[in-house]
A = this chain, B = another copy of it.
Amino acid sequence: MAGWVDDAGFLAGLEPQWREELRACKPVLVPVRTTLFRPGDHAQSFVVLLSGKIGVYLTGRNGRELLLYSVTPGETCVQTTLGVLGGAPYSGEALAETDLVAVLVPPALFERLMAGSAGFRHFVFKAFAARLGDLMFVLEQVAFVKVEQRLAHALLERAGPDGLVSMTHHDLAVVIGTAREVISRRLEAMQSKGLIANERGAIRILDRPALSRMAAQD
């Protein structure tokens, strides 16, 4: 009598007896654009995302925002985990980018899983490792890499097969951690070089190879 389906396969590494117990946890539905956590919030449960996408952002006092990482199905939101365990407050802001389905693991079960399941421990640690890696990457980009390169990278990463990137300049500015005007000017420069075409609310990539070169520049 499974409570939910593990499409993302995060139960795979778990011992059978624990698998059953986890399946008994009720999944939760969250509508798009819900703010899941704000800075200073204190999480009560360990969360595993089953479907949808969560964006975690950092906001500066000047109002500028920066995307720290995204949580995708089969992953957990580390900061929540830290809240459950260490009592550290939440410093980022989590936003439901789509409708979500998630499993909430209550602290008591979480403790028992950590104590009893090597598979679960590895899952949790891999999640930590991945997030720490994400943060290091963002930090390196923000601290050392030029806007033009980051922008080229971001565009390529988010382009559909037709080369369309459905994001506003403001969206891109948040992903990269800069100001909207800077993005506008960079995109205009790229357009005048024939690399992309600007449309309202979207950018179309015309010359992938050239953009890749720009992104990889040493």
Contact = CB atoms under 8 A, between A and B. Distances in A.
A110 to B, nearest CB: 11
Nearest to A122: B85
Contacts of A137: 91
A128 B60 contact: no
A177 interface: yes
Given A115-B118, A128-B128, A139 B82 contact: no
A136 interface: yes
A138 B138 CA distance: 11
Contacts of A78: 132
A129 interface: yes
B129 A86 contact: yes
A126 interface: yes
A91 B179 CA distance: 28
Contact of A88 (B79, B133, B139, B140): B133
Given A58-B136, A133-B88, A82 B125 contact: yes
Interface stretch (A141-149, A150-158, A204-212): A141-149
A143 to B, nearest CB: 5
Interface in A47-76: 58, 60-62, 64, 66, 68
Nearest to A91: B136
A111 interface: yes
A114 interface: yes
A27 interface: no
Interface in A65-104: 66, 68, 78-79, 82, 85-86, 88, 91-92
A7 interface: no
Interface of A: 58, 60-62, 64, 66, 68, 78-79, 82, 85-86, 88, 91-92, 111, 114-115, 118, 121-122, 125-126, 128-133, 135-140, 142-145, 177, 218
Given A58-B139, A66-B139, A114-B121, 9 more contacts: A61-B144, A91-B133, A92-B136, A115-B115, A115-B118, A128-B128, A128-B132, A131-B132, A135-B139
